[in-house]
C-alpha cells in the first residue's frame, strides 16, 4: 500500500517538474524588447474584447472576429467574457471611413445557427468583386456543442451578415483558424486534439504534437497533416499555390505546396523565434504580415487573467517563389502591452497597419515607412 502511494507521489513530482521546466520564464526573461511603432498608432473605437483574427478586402473593408472564447479557456478568461457580457461578434472597419471606428455587424441567423453560442475565432474571406457580397467563413467554438465553421454572406447595402450554412464533423477537434481556397473548400487547423478539458491540460503540459491540419472539400473532411504542436493561423498565398501555418508554441512556421488534389507537401520550415499567431497576405501577394506573442509566458498569463498585459509584435515576412525570405524578415511594431496586449493578427492597406488582439483592443497605425 505504502509503496503504491510513494510511486504516485514520485510520479506527481516528476509531472510537476516537467511542467515547471516547460513553463519556465528563464529563456524569455533574458531577452529585452524595445517599443517601436511605424508611425502614429491609436486604438480604434468600438473594440474592447478582442479582435483575434481579421481579413481585409481589396477595397479596404476589414472583417474582424471579437469576443473569443474556447473550450478549456482559463477561468479568468471566461469570467472576463461573461462578466462583461461580451458576445461573440463580427465587426467591420472601413479603412476609407476611419471615423466610423469598428462597427458590430448584425447577424441574420438561419435555422442552423444560434447566435447565443457563437464564439468566433479564425476568419477567412472569399471576395465577390462584382457585387461586394463577400462570403465569410468563421471558426466558431459553439458553447455546449462541437466546433463548426459558419458561412455568412455580407450584404453591403444593409451591413448585415446573413448566415448561409454550418460545417461540422468528427475530424474537427478544438479548431483555431481556416483558409478558404474556393467556395466551401478550406483548410482548418486543429490547435488541440483533446476536447476534454483535463486531457487538454495534459496535452499542453506535455507539449504533445497531436495538432493537425484538415481539408474540407465541400462535402467531407480529410486530415491533411498530423503531428503538429498547436497549429494556429493558416493563410493561402494570393495565387493559392502555397499554404502557411504558424506554430507559435515552437516559435516556428511551415510552408506547404498545394497539389491538384489539395494534398500538401512541406517545402519550408522556419524558426521565427516568436509565437506568431494569425497571418494576412499583402494584396500584391509579395509578403505575409503576422501578429505575434514575443514572450510566451506573458501571453499565457494574459489569457489566464486578461488584466495582465502581454507584449505585441508585428512581423513582415517577404515572400519569394512562395517561400519566406528569412533574411528579409522585419519587425514593424512592438508594444509592451499598454496600447495593445497580445497582438494576434495584422494587415496592411494603403500603407496603414491594422493590428488585432486576442482579447484586448484593435489598433491602427499611420506609417512613416513603407510597410
Ligand atoms: C470529399 O471528401 C469526402 C470525405 O473524405 C469523400 O468521401 C468524397 O469522395 C470527397 N468528394 C470529392 C468530390 O472529392
Which residue puts its alpha carbon closest to atom 13 of ligand 1?
217
State the distance between the two ends of the chain, measured CA to CA, in whole angstroms: 66
Give per-residue pLDDT as tens, 339-358.
999 999 999 999 999 999 99
Residue 72 is predicted with a pLDDT of: 86
- The three three-digit cell numbers of residue 299, written as one number: 501571453
Assign 10 a pLDDT band (cuts: 50, 70, 90). Answer: low
Cα 13 to the chain's mean position, in Å?
34
220 pocket-lining for ligand 1 (C-beta < 6 Å) = yes
272: Cβ–Cβ under 8 A, 6 or more apart, which residues? 246, 251, 252, 253, 290, 292, 315, 329
> Does residue 219 line the site of ligand 1, with CB under 6 A?
yes
Closest atom, ligand 1, to C-alpha of 219: 1
170 in ligand 1 pocket by Cβ < 6 Å? no
- The Å distance, Cα 55 to ligand 1 centre, comes to 28
Instruction: Give domain status of residue 14, yes or no.
Output: no
Residue in 217, 222, 261 to alter for ligand 1 test, most ligand atoms within 8 A of Cβ: 217
Grid cell in block for residue 350: 494603403
* 257 in a known ligand binding site: no
Q: Is the pLDDT of residue 28 over 60?
A: no
Q: Which pLDDT value is given to residue 156?
A: 97
In a domain, 45, yes or no: yes
Cα of 222 from ligand 1 centre, angstroms: 8
- 7: in domain: no
Q: Each residue of 287-337: pLDDT tens digit?
A: 999 999 999 999 999 999 999 999 999 999 999 999 999 999 999 999 999
Q: What is the pLDDT of residues 249-301, one digit of tens each?
A: 999 999 999 999 999 999 999 999 999 999 999 999 999 999 999 999 999 99
Is there a domain that residue 2 lies in?
no
Residue 156 in contact with ligand 1 by CB distance below 6 A: no
Atom of ligand 1 nearest to the CA of 222: 5
**Which domain range does residue 142 map to?**
30-367
Residue 53 main-chain phi, psi, to 5 deg = -140, 155
The three grid cell numbers given for residue 215, joined into one nine-digit string = 481539408
Number of structural domains found in the chain: 1
Report if residue 21 sits inside a domain: no
CATH of the domain at 318: 2.120.10.30
Listed residue (163, 140, 141, 143) closest to 152, CA to CA: 163
Angle between helices 296-304 and 75-83 (to 10 degrees): 50
* Span from the CA of 90 to the centroid of ligand 1 (angstroms): 31
Q: Is 307 in the pocket of ligand 1 (CB under 6 A)?
A: no
Does residue 332 lie within any of the structural domains? yes
Is residue 172 included in any domain, yes or no? Answer: yes
* Domain-embedded: residue 23: no
Report the C-alpha gap between 323 and 341 in whole angstroms. 29
Q: What angle, rounded to 10 degrees, do the helices at 2-22 and 197-205 form?
A: 70
Strands 41-43 and 148-155 come out as unpaired
* Cα dihedral 94/95/96/101 (nearest 10): 50
Q: Verify whether residue 121 is a known catalytic residue.
A: yes
Catalytic residue, from 36, 112, 119, 121: name it.
121
Cα(185)–Cα(164) distance, integer angstroms: 15
- pTM of the predicted protein model: 0.91
221 close to 214: Cβ distance less than 8 angstroms? yes
pLDDT at 62 over 80: yes
Residue-level pLDDT at 67: 96
Q: Which residues pair with 316 in a beta bridge?
A: 289, 330
Q: Is the pLDDT of residue 30 over 60?
A: no
Q: How confident is the model at residue 114 (pLDDT cuts 50, 70, 90)?
A: very high
123 a known binding residue? yes
How far is ligand 1, taken at its centre, from the CA of residue 63, in Å? 30
Annotated binding residue 232: yes
Amino acid at each position: 500500500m505504502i509503496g503504491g502511494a510513494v510511486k504516485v507521489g514520485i510520479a506527481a513530482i516528476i509531472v510537476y517538474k516537467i511542467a515547471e521546466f516547460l513553463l519556465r520564464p528563464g529563456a524569455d526573461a533574458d531577452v529585452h524588447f524595445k517599443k517601436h511603432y511605424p508611425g502614429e498608432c491609436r486604438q480604434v473605437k468600438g473594440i474592447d474584447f478582442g479582435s483575434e483574427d481579421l481579413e481585409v478586402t481589396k477595397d479596404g473593408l476589414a472583417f474582424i472576429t471579437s469576443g473569443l472564447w474556447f473550450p478549456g479557456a482559463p477561468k479568468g478568461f471566461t469570467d472576463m467574457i461573461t462578466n462583461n457580457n461580451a458576445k461573440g461578434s463580427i465587426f467591420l472597419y472601413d479603412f476609407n471611413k476611419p471615423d466610423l471606428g469598428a462597427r458590430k455587424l448584425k447577424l441574420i441567423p438561419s435555422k442552423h445557427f444560434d447566435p447565443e453560442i457563437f464564439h468566433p475565432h479564425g476568419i477567412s474571406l472569399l471576395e465577390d468583386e462584382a457585387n461586394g457580397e463577400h462570403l465569410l467563413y468563421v471558426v466558431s467554438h459553439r458553447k455546449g456543442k462541437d466546433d463548426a465553421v459558419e458561412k455568412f454572406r455580407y450584404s453591403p447595402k444593409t451591413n448585415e451578415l446573413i448566415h448561409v450554412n454550418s460545417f461540422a464533423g468528427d475530424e474537427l477537434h478544438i479548431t483555431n483558424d481556416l483558409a478558404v481556397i474556393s467556395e466551401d473548400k478550406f483548410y482548418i487547423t486543429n490547435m488541440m486534439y483533446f476536447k476534454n478539458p483535463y486531457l487538454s491540460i495534459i496535452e499542453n503540459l506535455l507539449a504533445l504534437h497531436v495538432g493537425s491540419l484538415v481539408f474540407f472539400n465541400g462535402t467531407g473532411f480529410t486530415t491533411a497533416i498530423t503531428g503538429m504542436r498547436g497549429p494556429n493561423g493558416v493563410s493561402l498565398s494570393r495565387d493559392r499555390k502555397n499554404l502557411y501555418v504558424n506554430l507559435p508554441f515552437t516559435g516556428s512556421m511551415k510552408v506547404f505546396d498545394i497539389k491538384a488534389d489539395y494534398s500538401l507537401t512541406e517545402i519550408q520550415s522556419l524558426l521565427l523565434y516568436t509565437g506568431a499567431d494569425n497571418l494576412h497576405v499583402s494584396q500584391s501577394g509579395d509578403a505575409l504580415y503576422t501578429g505575434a506573442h514575443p514572450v510566451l509566458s506573458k501571453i499565457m498569463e494574459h489569457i489566464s487573467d486578461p488584466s495582465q498585459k502581454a507584449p505585441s509584435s508585428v512581423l513582415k515576412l517577404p515572400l519569394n517563389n512562395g517561400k519566406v525570405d528569412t533574411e528579409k524578415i522585419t519587425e514593424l511594431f512592438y508594444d509592451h502591452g499598454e496600447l495593445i496586449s497580445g497582438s494576434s493578427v495584422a494587415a496592411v492597406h494603403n500603407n496603414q497597419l491594422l493590428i488585432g488582439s486576442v482579447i484586448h483592443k484593435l489598433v491602427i497605425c499611420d506609417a512613416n515607412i513603407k510597410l
